[in-house]
Amino acid sequence: MAAVPIAVITGASSGIGAATARQLAAAGYRVVLTARRKDRIEALAAEINEAGHQATAYTLDVTDRHAVDEFATAFRTLAVLVNNAGGALGADPVATGDPADWRQMYETNVIGTLNVTQALLPALTESGDGTVVILSSTAGLATYEGGGGYVAAKHGEHVLAETLRLEIVGTPVRVIEVAPGMVKTEEFATTRFRGDTEKAAKVYAGVEAPLTADDVADTITWAVTRPSHVNIDLLVVRPRAQASNAKVHRTT
Ligand code: 8X3
């Protein structure tokens, strides 16, 4: 019997990460959920196992290189890595943005992705058919006012994806970048505005149907489950009501 392929998902405690874990498990992967919040990933792993699929949880901070290296020793071979951990802090203009926010966003979005990808690349290569997914953002492809450090960090992640693809061509590993636009998840905007739910709600005000975490998980799962010679380099996904980062149709 062939071994069940393994998929590691970072930032699996909520939102797109959690939805991707559920969908990849349903697609036949044994999913390894990582995030800092142990309780959440353990509960999600239990839910996935109860549904008859396979999941384990591993508490991990992707910015802690030592911990990431230790985590990676568990994998001789790995089919899929989904670099989802990251997020935004603040929406201040460049003139007044806090350098500490910029640093933290670079650390989680870019260095976190770098850490986990570097640590697991040998196992992905060893599998003979590995897939690295980098969840960037439309903020990684074009800027917008108040995007600040988030836009800068997501551009960094986009460049990481493009460069890695160039460098490892010829190895049995593909690099897929998924760049979502407006996605309404339970935490993204609330975290960005440090718990200010009013400001967070304004992001989605009057937008008929922003993307959901499941919509993005669906695109990730589709891209990952294409035959191995097919590389979805970059998949941009937005709600119909959003034509560009700043051009959004609102009914109110
Ligand atoms: C999220 C998209 O528009 O909030 O990555 O930057 S946006």
User: By the 8 A CB rule, do 120 and 175 touch?
Assistant: no
Q: Active-site residue 106, yes or no?
A: no
Spacing, Cα 33 to ligand 1 middle (Å): 23
Please tell me if the CB atom of residue 13 comes closer than 6 angstroms to any atom of ligand 1: no
Spacing, Cα 144 to ligand 1 middle (Å): 9
Q: What's the whole-number average pLDDT of the chain? A: 97
In tens, the pLDDT along 28-83 reads 999 999 999 999 999 999 999 999 999 999 999 999 999 999 999 999 999 999 99
Task: Please list, in sequence order, all residues whose beta carbon lies within 8 angstroms of the beta carbon of residue 122, skipping any fewer than 6 positions away.
Answer: none
Spacing, Cα 160 to ligand 1 middle (Å): 18
pLDDT value at residue 252: 86
pLDDT interval class at 1 (50, 70, 90): low
Ligand 1: which residue has its CA nearest to atom 5? 137
Q: Reading across the β-sheet that carries 6-10, which strands appear in turn? A: 54-59, 30-35, 6-10, 80-83, 130-135, 173-180, 234-237
pLDDT value at residue 37: 97
Nearest to 59, CA basis, from 86, 35, 32, 39: 35
Kindly tell me if the per-residue pLDDT of 103 is higher than 80. Answer: yes
What are the residue boundaries of the structural domains of the chain, listed by start? 6-248
Tell which phi-psi region holds residue 80, choosing left (phi > 0), alpha (psi between -120 and 50) or beta. Answer: beta
Domain 6-248: give its CATH superfamily.
NAD(P)-binding Rossmann-like Domain (3.40.50.720)
The pick from 108, 137, 202, 219 for probing ligand 1's pocket by mutation, whose C-beta has the most ligand atoms within 8 angstroms, reads: 137
In tens, the pLDDT along 165-192 reads 999 999 999 999 999 999 999 899 999 9
pTM, whole model, 2 decimals? Answer: 0.97
> What Rg value do the Cα atoms of the chain yield, rounded?
17
**Secondary structure element (H or E) that encloses residue 230, with its range:** none
At residue 237, the 3 state secondary structure works out as strand
